[in-house]
Structure 1
Amino acid sequence: MCAKKISRDYTISFPAIRGVQAGKEYYVTMCPLKLLPTMFQSTISDIPPELRAQRELNKGRVTPITNYLLNNSDDYIFSSIAASIDSEIEFEPYGTDIVGRKMGTLSVSMDARFVINDGQHRVAAITEALKADATLGNETISVVLYIDCGLNNSQQMFADLNRYAVRPTKSLSILYDHRDPLARLANDLVQKVSVFTGMTEKAKSSISNRSRKLFTLSGIYQATKTFLQKKDGADVTKEECKLALEFWETVADNMQDWKAAVKKQVATSELRSDYIHAHGIALQALAIAGNSLIKAEPKTWKKTLRKIKGIDWARENASLWEGRALIGGGVNRSQKNIILTANLIKQTLGLPLSPNEEIIERNYLKGQHEN
């Protein structure tokens, strides 16, 4: 154990629960948010990486977390902060029975140094949020406190805490996000658009070769966001929800291969292998073209959209797709290639290109001519 007995003269006390991991004691306490700025004051920005036990604070990550807390003050959730105490400590249990020995008061020196092992961006965001709304100060967050046994141990703790951390896929995040209006819309579209129902991968953001799925939830989300020209977290009106549903249903009505896949008349793996329209780039490009079409023809867009039936989506048509949606025979989802694919759809629909689309198209044609 690295802990030492503490002098009782100048201490800070926390109600805590004592646990044991790897034969070492650690403590869990509920900390009022208003105490976090005082507990975790140190900055590491000027300390070399090899002499610290955490990554440098990324201020760009702090603001979104702050906004999340302020915008959802009655419905937010934060996981525990993990920190080390560089101080003498003393734990006084409440009792002598099994439960009593695990619960008690943790006392630490007044000059104790708390070092965050995991959660520095949460702490920084909470600190900023308190400046805007001091009433949050009496709410609490759980803090897991470890005894600091030196720099090497703290660095190893950081490495271990992050060793197996894996971000959920974009599709799974959208599936479980009931707060984001666009996420709710994307999930609704999967339930209501005929070709999306049963054909959408909801847990992963990519599709394996053997999968029967044809679309990903993240692909539908991003394409619908593009179609409605929405920013992250923007509200979606009932009219926009209805329009998105009508648009994707109309697109589906004019994509015979998609309907054949729903009826199991063709394998989705075959479509992915042979056709551009079985990839996310097609959804994105259709969304761009669809937005322009509805603006140009708000009353007759459904009739005009039928023209996409005439597009040859076959990947073997290299003269049409190489450099536009394909690079070296492989589908390329760069923004430039999405725009080039949308350009082809817009031209098929008889729509003019925007100035930026014109520039990208000219550069593409110039490159094709030179090759």
Structure 2
Amino acid sequence: MYHILAMEEGQLPGKKGGVSFQAAEVISRHNDSLKASEVRWDLEKKASRPFVTVERDEQLTKGECYPEILRAALERNRDEGAIDLLVQVMAPDLYANLPAISEKEIAGSLTNLSLTLQELHDRYGEAAAHVIDEVQAARQKDAEQKARKEALSREVKDAAEAHTFSFPAVRGVQAGREYYIAQIPLSVLVKLFVFDDEYVPPELRAQRTLNQTRAKGISDYIVANQDEYVLPALTASVSQEMRFDAINGGSLGMLNIPMDSTLLINDGQHRRAGIELAMDAASQLKNETIGVTIYFDEGLERSQQMFSDINSRQVKPSSAINALYDKRDPINKWLMSLLQDMPTIRRLIDFENATVGRRSKKLWSIVVFRRFVMRLTGLRDKEVPGQEVLANAGRLVQRYLETLAINLTQWDNLVSGRLVASEARDDMVIGHAVFLEALGLFGNQALLDGGVLGLQDVDELHWSKLVSLYTIDPGKSSQVWQGRCVLHGKMQKTADGVKLTAAALLSTANCPLPDQLAQLESRI
């Protein structure tokens, strides 16, 4: 515990004449030394009086005076200052980054300490010599470590010239087998690590066939995000015994792999192929590294089992989580910002699952809500608009949802929470994703005539067309939804179901159907 004590009496400015304090009075207590220093400097500035920081195991009472503790602290500070002065006198070159102390500065410091130079030597010589010894010992240790690093560097160079490939690695044990995690330069990875030929039959391969489209996607990702790309480690097997030279007998060291061995990728062949393509487009990547977990190759059966164990236990994240976390997608980033401005709607969104469970208190997943917004505004993923258009789209979405609350039966109760989401899903179409997407398609056609929102004045759109929605029966049993979003009493979420539901809404609003919806409607 760090305590700040006043060295003499004084007063801190404030209301009603300020606050007075006595010498040796505890002004404040702090758990952190840096915070205590900041507060002490601030107090000295405000009160124009000196304060001292005292570290004590026991907690001192704020407002109480402790003259003995203050006296001891001042004496300790005086001793530390005297030792520091003598160190500078005895070894002026000890701290290479500090200028040597001048004779005038030495004389001034001795005057403040009320000591002669001989008295300073007599009283503090032993302590100063101890400090000098400690600093020199630390320098010696640093020099030894530097020498070891240079020796290791030479060892790495020598190993590279021998008949092995050598990489810095960490040694570990899994299931009683030794394995290594190495940092491999990307240029070395594509030259040394191979994957099975695609023409080898599946039963004789340790991997799946390489998908060039997937590899190209990884390459495009790396090249487009050279300052922030992330690639997880690969897993590989080596066909011959490896030698691990540990540093000081620990788990860190150099992994030496025979040059005539085969380094087979068990998991990550698409990353390796993507890296090779990326380096063709951005050669500066060649010196960057990737982690590779390396095992001894115990044969095809073991390699195939490793591939199965790794891939069968991977769980692909939901599209909702991807939408939530992918801040590179400007539409996602804008949508998350928009939902921050709509807390009532935001609490109804499931950000973790692509579909909402039947008993969930949430209404829609973030994936479905995103599709609703895109359908309503007419925006496209591959044609990202400017900030002004996105801001206008935000105004449209908010105005549209507010208008639905006024005109669509039970919508306000659903959004406000007066109507429980799970009950709405049981009895009504308005609590389902298919209906929300249909509302987006309907709104785009009714308000924007099926076009794309630009910088139009949102208030000048065809809002009167939404008034007729009050006649809509939201019940699942209503005849109007049969064969559209309801089939044999159950909700159906299909592309045609969305369009046919939107067609019903447009007909209610006396809006002409576009050709595609008219063709579908003719089937009904």
What TM-score do the two structures reach when normalised by structure 1? 0.88
Query: Which structure's residues are more often helix, by fraction?
Result: 2
Instruction: Please give the secondary structure, in 2, of the residue aligned with 1:278.
Output: coil
The answer for the alignment partner of 2:432 in structure 1 is: 279
The answer for the alignment partner of 1:292 in structure 2 is: 445
The answer for the alignment partner of 1:305 in structure 2 is: 466
The answer for the alignment partner of 1:184 in structure 2 is: 333
Instruction: Please give the secondary structure, in 2, of the residue aligned with 1:107.
Output: strand
Equivalent residues in 2 for 1:161-176, closer than 5 Å: 161-176=310-325
Once the two structures are overlaid, the 10-residue window that deviates more, 208-217 or 248-257, is 248-257
Once the two structures are overlaid, the 10-residue window that deviates more, 24-33 or 232-241, is 232-241
Contact 2:223 2:278 in 1 (8 A): yes
Aligned: 1:131 with 2:284: no
Measured in 1, the distance between the counterparts of 2:319 and 2:241 equals: 44
Aligned: 1:15 with 2:168: yes
CA distance 1:60–1:329, change in 2 (3 Å): farther
The residue type equivalent to 2:511 in the other structure is L
Contact 2:500 2:517 in 1 (8 A): yes
Measured in 2, the distance between the counterparts of 1:9 and 1:63 equals: 36
Measured in 2, the distance between the counterparts of 1:331 and 1:60 equals: 36
The residue type equivalent to 1:334 in the other structure is T
Kindly state the Cα deviation for residue 167 of structure 1 after the two structures are TM-superposed. Answer: 1.1
Aligned: 1:325 with 2:469: no
Measured in 2, the distance between the counterparts of 1:356 and 1:347 equals: 14
- Percent identity of paired positions between Structure 1 and Structure 2: 32
Instruction: Please give the secondary structure, in 2, of the residue aligned with 1:309.
Output: helix
Kindly state the Cα deviation for residue 233 of structure 1 after the two structures are TM-superposed. Answer: 5.8
Measured in 2, the distance between the counterparts of 1:109 and 1:136 equals: 26
Per-residue CA deviation, residues 230-253 of structure 1 (Å, 9 max, x unaligned), is: 444653432333333333323322
CA distance 1:35–1:360, change in 2 (3 Å): farther
Contact 1:86 1:114 in 2 (8 A): yes
Measured in 2, the distance between the counterparts of 1:248 and 1:314 equals: 25
CA distance 1:341–1:160, change in 2 (3 Å): same
The answer for the alignment partner of 1:3 in structure 2 is: none
Aligned: 1:346 with 2:506: yes
Q: 1:46 aligns with which of 199, 204, 207?
A: 199
CA distance 1:197–1:85, change in 2 (3 Å): same
Contact 1:182 1:225 in 2 (8 A): no
Once the two structures are overlaid, the 10-residue window that deviates more, 163-172 or 242-251, is 242-251
Measured in 1, the distance between the counterparts of 2:506 and 2:306 equals: 54
Measured in 2, the distance between the counterparts of 1:41 and 1:296 equals: 55
The residue type equivalent to 1:79 in the other structure is P
Unaligned runs of at least 5 residues, structure 2: 1-160, 451-455
CA distance 1:343–1:279, change in 2 (3 Å): same
The answer for the alignment partner of 2:137 in structure 1 is: none
Q: 1:146 aligns with which of 295, 312, 330?
A: 295
The answer for the alignment partner of 1:368 in structure 2 is: none
The answer for the alignment partner of 2:262 in structure 1 is: 113
Measured in 1, the distance between the counterparts of 2:294 and 2:163 equals: 19
Rg bigger for which structure? 2
Unaligned runs of at least 5 residues, structure 1: 1-7, 366-371
Instruction: Please give the secondary structure, in 2, of the residue aligned with 1:277.
Output: coil
CA distance 1:90–1:228, change in 2 (3 Å): farther
Measured in 2, the distance between the counterparts of 1:62 and 1:311 equals: 50
The answer for the alignment partner of 2:517 in structure 1 is: 357
Measured in 1, the distance between the counterparts of 2:506 and 2:288 equals: 53
Contact 2:425 2:432 in 1 (8 A): yes
Instruction: Please give the secondary structure, in 2, of the residue aligned with 1:196.
Output: helix
The answer for the alignment partner of 1:84 in structure 2 is: 237
CA RMSD of aligned residues (A): 2.3
Aligned length: 353
Relative contact order: is structure 1 or structure 2 higher (C-alpha 8 Å, sep ≥ 6)?
A: 1
The residue type equivalent to 1:260 in the other structure is N
Measured in 2, the distance between the counterparts of 1:61 and 1:309 equals: 49
Measured in 1, the distance between the counterparts of 2:197 and 2:429 equals: 49
Instruction: Please give the secondary structure, in 1, of the residue aligned with 2:473.
Output: coil
CA distance 1:226–1:60, change in 2 (3 Å): farther
Kindly state the Cα deviation for residue 194 of structure 1 after the two structures are TM-superposed. Answer: 5.2
Measured in 1, the distance between the counterparts of 2:490 and 2:507 equals: 23
Measured in 1, the distance between the counterparts of 2:357 and 2:431 equals: 13
Measured in 1, the distance between the counterparts of 2:430 and 2:213 equals: 36
The residue type equivalent to 2:282 in the other structure is D
The residue type equivalent to 2:472 in the other structure is I
What TM-score do the two structures reach when normalised by structure 2? 0.63
Instruction: Please give the secondary structure, in 2, of the residue aligned with 1:276.
Output: coil
Q: 1:28 aligns with which of 181, 205, 209?
A: 181
Kindly state the Cα deviation for residue 277 of structure 1 after the two structures are TM-superposed. Answer: 1.7
Contact 1:181 1:234 in 2 (8 A): no
Measured in 2, the distance between the counterparts of 1:119 and 1:196 equals: 41
Instruction: Please give the secondary structure, in 2, of the residue aligned with 1:166.
Output: coil
Per-residue CA deviation, residues 247-303 of structure 1 (Å, 9 max, x unaligned), is: 332332224533213433221111111111211112222222222333339623333
The residue type equivalent to 1:288 in the other structure is L
Per-residue CA deviation, residues 306-363 of structure 1 (Å, 9 max, x unaligned), is: 333332221101x31122112222222211111112222233333333322222222x
Aligned: 1:69 with 2:222: yes
Instruction: Please give the secondary structure, in 1, of the residue aligned with 2:346.
Output: coil
Contact 1:192 1:245 in 2 (8 A): no
CA distance 1:117–1:306, change in 2 (3 Å): farther
Measured in 1, the distance between the counterparts of 2:388 and 2:470 equals: 27
CA distance 1:289–1:261, change in 2 (3 Å): closer
Q: 1:93 aligns with which of 216, 222, 246?
A: 246
CA distance 1:14–1:218, change in 2 (3 Å): same
Measured in 2, the distance between the counterparts of 1:239 and 1:55 equals: 47
